[in-house]
Amino acid sequence: MMMLIAAKLPQKQGMVVFLPATIGGCITDITNEENTVVYTDTFPDGVTIEMPISDFIEAWQTALFFEENEIEFTPEAVPEVQH
């Protein structure tokens, strides 16, 4: 199963979706500590998201863990998740 991370862009500019395996790193945005700049193969100059760095790191580590361990969820196992 392919895990993805979705995040809001600042100032209601929309959303961005990351493939966790392509993320190279992230830093706190120097102009707004509630935002994170994420660097990926697709966004080598970085893309700023509206999410604190600690929340992004948690989502990134979780996605990598599930991909590495090939854990899959079925609708029956997680009924409250929208499919």
Residue 76 lies in a domain: no
User: Cα separation of 49 and 55, whole Å?
Assistant: 11
Sign of the CA dihedral with 60 first, then 63, 66, and 68 last: negative
The total of structural domains in the chain comes to 1
For the cut 60, the answer to whether the pLDDT of residue 71 exceeds it is: no
The answer to the question of residue 33 being in a domain is yes
Residue 45 located in a structural domain:
yes
Model pLDDT, residue 83: 39
Q: Alpha helices of the chain — where are they, by DSSP H?
A: 53-68
58 assigned to some structural domain: yes
Look at residue 80 in the predicted model and tell me its pLDDT. 52
- pLDDT at 72 > cutoff 70: no
- Can you tell me the mean pLDDT for 2-8? 89
State the DSSP code for 2: -
- 73 or 16, which is more confident: 16
Element holding 79 (H helix, E strand) = none
Whether residue 80 lies inside any domain: the answer is no
Say which residue the tokens 């079925």 belong to.
74
Domain with 29 in it: 5-68
* Residue range 25-67, pLDDT digits in tens: 999 999 999 999 999 999 999 999 999 999 999 999 988 887 7
What pLDDT does 64 receive?
A: 86
Q: Is 59 contained in some domain?
A: yes
